[in-house]
Amino acid sequence: MKLNRNFICREICGEVLLIPVNEEVKLHNGIFSFSKTGAFLMKAFVNGADIPSAAFALTETYNVNADTALRDASEFADALIKNGIILE
């Protein structure tokens, strides 16, 4: 996966922030922040992870079973893709 070039993802003071730039500023009202697991997945996707590898990393880092991790990673990725934030 790849971050749309119209967004910047940065970790500032321990918080992962997604900042729309260029034309996306008109479509999105402000900066996005994430929960702990959302931030974990966002960083994984920005670094090129696919859904299965991001889900596996979730199981290794958090106390979550593989089925739940895969479902959550898939739903999160689908929302990011649907909103044009992450490109497949």
Helix ranges, 1-88 (H): 24-27, 36-46, 51-61, 66-82
Q: What is the pLDDT of residues 17-32, one digit of tens each?
A: 999 998 777 777 788 9
Task: Domain count for the chain, please give it.
Answer: 1
Q: Which domain holds residue 12?
A: 2-87
What 30-38 contacts at long range (C-beta under 8 Å, 24+ apart), as own/partner pairs, is: 37/62, 37/72, 38/76
Q: What is the pLDDT of residues 21-76, one digit of tens each?
A: 987 777 777 889 999 999 999 999 999 999 999 999 999 999 899 999 999 999 99
How far is residue 55's CA from residue 40's CA, in Å, rounded to a whole number?
A: 10
